[in-house]
Structure 1
């Protein structure tokens, strides 16, 4: 519906949903591998590892695109209309997917991980220097740069909204909430994981003590990245009024069914007493 209406953000949201879905589909394999004695085919191992890491960073890129889209629409409303067209958003989304996949394949091939695909699913402890270098590149390109872009867009948009007298207060609140949740989702989902990965890359190579100390935080923070797939629908709900209406309908219907059951149980209790 939003795409047919020429809403460029709908394109980014569809791609974000695809990225989240691919990540969710890879989870059963990781759950299976959580037990030390379990193994999987090397080809499947390579596939799910590439899917997982690309889901992290494709999601980051698409959230950046949404932030930049809103930045251009609010700070420069009379310019850059072509950037906010559906066609442009589709091209940008394809570019994000292509760039992320290409960078990861190049990095994995450079470190030899593609040649030894088992290392993608079974990490060597302590981390090797090659793996540490790969982690540092991921943190810099896939985390620090997106955080800078989203923070800059958020600050500029909030400043522009405060100075604008033509935008209604309700619309200001909606845009502010959208940007706040985009930044919050990213921070909650990825900051713990990326922080632990940065510490591992700096401290762990050649050190069994740090490898042991950071093992549990690493496992926990990898699990917290799944929050991204859970929280991303909030972005969609903040953008789409039709989604908000559907949610209200579902909540209203669910509340009605709940109250009907409570009422029927109460009535049955009264009858049994009498």
Structure 2
């Protein structure tokens, strides 16, 4: 069963250019700054900065594809190959990001709940290994899933997905919902609960430090949930109702497009949260601002002297 080709809707033409332009204007410089700050912190031995580097790279890759998504919404002539690359980067941002957020949550969990143990886990080398493992695992799982549905050789599959979903597509999507959303949310929620319980019992950690650790993890979890719950809910409903049903494919069209756009919120807010809440990051930002101010003053002085 194959439905009639679904044309680009008026909502898609209006929403995507506006929303993605906003996310690009905010997200690109935010992720660049986050990447620079994380690199500086990693050189000082901050293990969590390693995860932030990987997260920033993943988010940055997705952010730079936003102009192409805008072009697709405006019906530019985008090749299937480029279109599939865009989908590949988008899914990479979803699943690699989920894995890295889990790593950050576990890192903070071990640091707070077991401060005298697992020191090797919180070293830069270990964090680098775990970050690399997340990327490799994501690629490996997707290769297995694409092989399972018989689309491993067809790179254009991502851009030309079946409408409505086939039962194989539904199985593929269900596995991704469980592995990329439910499982990470369970891990992050567990780590947050255990950290908060440990902080309440601890008398050795200052109240301000307790608050900062709790706020960071809470915002991490909330941002992830707000960004992905709508999308994953729509995908789950599609898995149940859409296979071989054109009417349901049509009904889920607009909700799917809207919720895909909301996932970009995560890539935009992640770097802002880290830079605003983490004290080490804020110190590095102050240094960047001071250097920029000095450079601006020197250039202004030179121009005035020449004139």
Aligned to 1:195: 233
1:246 Cα deviation (Å)? 3.1
Q: Residues 112, 38 of structure 1: CA spacing in aligned structure 2 closer, same or farther, 3 A cutoff? A: farther
Aligned to 1:134: 172
Q: Residues 55, 148 of structure 1: CA spacing in aligned structure 2 closer, same or farther, 3 A cutoff? A: same
1:244 Cα deviation (Å)? 5.6
Q: Residues 192, 241 of structure 1: CA spacing in aligned structure 2 closer, same or farther, 3 A cutoff? A: same
Aligned to 1:262: none
Aligned to 1:24: 63
1:14 to 34, 53, 58: 53
The alignment status of 1:184 with 2:222, answered yes or no, reads: yes
Q: Give runs of aligned pairs for residues 108-257 of structure 1, distance below 5 A.
A: 108-233=146-271, 234-243=273-282, 246=285
| Mapped partners of 1:142, 1:167: distance in 2 | 33
RMSD between aligned residues? 2.1
TM superposition score normalised by structure 1: 0.85
1:245 Cα deviation (Å)? 6.7
1:23·1:52 contact (CA, 8 Å) conserved in 2?
A: yes
| Mapped partners of 2:73, 2:172: distance in 1 | 23
TM superposition score normalised by structure 2: 0.76
| Mapped partners of 2:288, 2:74: distance in 1 | 43
Structure 2: gaps of 5 or more residues: 1-39, 294-307
Bigger relative CO (Cα 8 Å, ≥ 6 apart) = 2
CA distances 1:47-94 after superposition (whole Å, capped 9, x unpaired): 222221111010000000000000000000000000000000000000
Q: Residues 194, 45 of structure 1: CA spacing in aligned structure 2 closer, same or farther, 3 A cutoff? A: same
| Mapped partners of 2:177, 2:207: distance in 1 | 37
Structure 1: gaps of 5 or more residues: 255-274
| Mapped partners of 1:240, 1:137: distance in 2 | 38
1:28 Cα deviation (Å)? 2.7
Aligned to 1:101: 139
Higher mean C-alpha displacement, 77-86 vs 107-116: 107-116
2:95·2:138 contact (CA, 8 Å) conserved in 1?
A: yes
Q: Of the two, which has the highest radius of gyration?
A: 1
